[in-house]
Every structure is written in C-alpha cells, then in structure tokens.
Amino acid sequence: MDNIKTTKASTHYIFWAVIIALFVSAIFLLKSVLLPFVVGSSVAYLLNPTVQKFEKLGIPRGPASIIILSGFLLVLLTFFAITVPVLTKEIGAFALDVPDYINQLKELLSPLTGFLEQYTSHVENGDIQGFFVDSSKSVTTIIGILASKLAAGGQTLVDIISLFCFMPIVAYFMMKEWPSITQWIYDLVPRYAQGDVMELLKQINTKLSGFIRGQISVALILALAYALALTLAGLKYGMLIGLSAGLLSIIPMVGLVIGLIVSVAVAWFQSGEWEYVLIIAGIFLGGQLIEGNFLTPKLVGKSVGLHPLWVFFVLLAGGSLLGILGMFLAVPVAAVIGVLLSFALRKYKQSTYYKVSSGNDDKDDKSSHMKKRNKSKNKQST
C-alpha cells in the first residue's frame, strides 16, 4: 500500500491564500478585457437550464446552444430597437425641462425662502431664490458636459463594441462546454475537502440561480409593466422612469423608492393635480403588491438569502473598484462571501472555542459543585 503524505493545516491555508491572491491580482490586471468574458459567462449560466431541457429532447448541446442564444439575442436586440429611440428622446426632453422644474420648485418654496430671508440677517434679499436659478444653470451645464464626455469617450465605445462582438462567442462556447467546465472544476477540488466544497458550491449555485434567474426576471417584468403603465397614464418620461425603476428593483425596495419619488414629482410638476399624482403613486404601490405577493415568491423563492443592503453594498463597492465589470462580479462575490461566512460560523459553533469554557470557568464550576456536595452531606449528617 502506498504511503500518503500529509501536510499541515497551515500549509493548506498558505497555499489557498496565495491562489486567491493571484486570482484577484489577475482580475485587476486584466479588468480592461474581462467584461465580455464575464457577461458571456453570466448569459451562459442564465441559459444553461434551457440547454439542458433541449438535451433531454435529444438535441445536442452545440445546436441547442446556437438556437437558444440566437433567440435570446434576437429578443435583446428587439428590446433595444424599441426602447433606445424613445429613451434618447425622453432623456433629451428631461434635460431641457430641468431648469423649468427648478423654477417651479423655487415658486413652490417661495414662502419658505421669504421666511428664511426675513429671519436670516446675513443673507441678502433674493439670494436664496437666486440659488435655485444658479442651480438650474449648473444642472444644465453638467448634463451637457456629461453628454459630451460620453460621446467623446473612445475607451467606452471600444468596450461597448468588444462586448457586443465577443460576448455572444464567449456565451456560446460556455454553454456548449458547460459539462466539461464543471467537471474540470470538480477535478480540481482537493480530495480531503470534497464533501464540504461540493456542498458549498451547491449552496452558492442555489443563491446565484435564485438571484440571477429569479430577481432579474422580476426586475424585467416590473420594468416593462411600469413603463407601459406610466406611458398609458400620460406621464412625461414614463418610459424612462418605468424602465429605470424596474431595473433598479434588482435591489429590493430601491427601485420602488426612487421610481415613486421621481414619478410623483414629475406628475405634480406636469399637472399640479393631486388626483393625477395619486394615480401615478398607485401604479407603483400596485406593482409592489404584485411583486411581493406573486412575482417574488414564484420566481425567486425564499432560498436566495442575499440581503438587499448586502447586495447594495457590493454593487457600490464593485462599481467603485472595477467599474461596470465590478458591478457584474458583485452578485457572485456576494453569494460566495455569504455562503463562506455561514460555513465559517457553523464551524465556529461546532468548535471548542464556542462550546468549551475557559480554565477559570472550569475551576469555578468545580468549586461550586464541591460546595453543593458538602452542603448535601451536612444535611444528611444532621
């Protein structure tokens, strides 16, 4: 029988710490070219269950991947072809209307500004109202600068072109080779930790599938419903506000709060009637009821376990560190960290650090036990 060499636990920890450090370093070094690969892998992960269903019908993975990916891209291009012209028009109109909205806000707050000017001696008359006028000019200037920067951003244009060119290729090969890739990862798992690692990977997959396939489905349904309802209600920029609020619903409650505040404000500036404002608010409240009672329980379920604040934090952190690439990586990283923390806490509660008391506590317990024993003996002797 062959002798199996063993290594210390500290050696294992050092080895895997070095591997993780190299992996993170590679992401930072290659972040400028990773976006198509990350998005393509995400699309493959999203569509892989459909490919498996086609396989059960006797269709090989290659042709099934082409059929499913082509249908997905066709739906995506149709969506962009319909929405982009409308959104471009509404964004331009909104940029032109911002100064007018600020002037209306200035008139609405004029009693308050007059009160402040009366009781603030060091503020000259008209300064507070002038602040709103200056702000309107500043907002218009900032929007113009941002538009020119985006139009002149060569690197952004290159990223977009590379994304649309290479993402479908990456997604196709990932979908086609998915069983081989998962088997390769399985073969890399250390034999001594195979049970724990596979259980962790199963939990991560449950969280990711619930969030990516479930929460994104909910967000897309809400985006289309909000956009259609607000447009039919006659709200200005209804398509823009509805799509934005729905897509932001990937983070629970964020889309509802932002969409409700913006749409109610626009509805008030547009009509000045409380009845219309209540109708617009009712659209979002109705959407929230449908989401909470039907969409989320059906599509997401209770097994996701990603807290909205945690998702919000990792999205901001990922965007700050790696831009758009970081935001795409944020949710998988959140799922991995969440599962690993749960596993670490479970191991901690099973360890002697959690269950066994310190030496002083043991002495105290023994002394108290001896005192009780002596008392019982004294009672028996009397």
Render pLDDT for 200-233 as a digit per residue (tens, 0 to 9).
888 888 777 777 777 788 888 888 999 999 989 8
The three-point CA angle 233-235-239 to 5° equals: 95
With a pLDDT cut of 90, the percent of the chain lying above it is 8
Cβ–Cβ under 8 Å, residues 255 and 249: yes
| pLDDT of residue 66 exceeding 90 | yes
Give 94's pLDDT tier (boundaries 50, 70, 90): confident
Cβ–Cβ under 8 Å, residues 106 and 129: yes
Residue 158: the pLDDT is: 63
DSSP E strands: which ranges in 22-135?
none
CA distance 167 to 306: 27
Residue extents of the structural domains in the chain: 30-183, 192-349
Query: 124: which DSSP letter?
Result: P
Residue 123: the pLDDT is: 46
Query: At residue 273, what are phi and psi to the nearest 5 degrees?
Result: -115, 130
Residue 153: the pLDDT is: 47
The three-point CA angle 95-100-106 to 5° equals: 130
Query: Closest by alpha carbon to 47, among 27, 61, 26, 28?
Result: 61
| Over residues 27-55, mean pLDDT | 87
| pLDDT of residue 379 exceeding 90 | no
Cβ–Cβ under 8 Å, residues 303 and 210: yes
| pLDDT of residue 250 exceeding 60 | yes
Query: At residue 34, what are phi and psi to the nearest 5 degrees?
Result: -85, -20
Residues 110-166 pLDDT 10s = 666 555 555 554 445 455 555 555 555 555 554 555 555 444 444 555 667 777 788
| pLDDT of residue 297 exceeding 70 | yes
Token pair, residue 222, equals 């809400």
| Over residues 48-61, mean pLDDT | 90
CA distance 269 to 286: 22
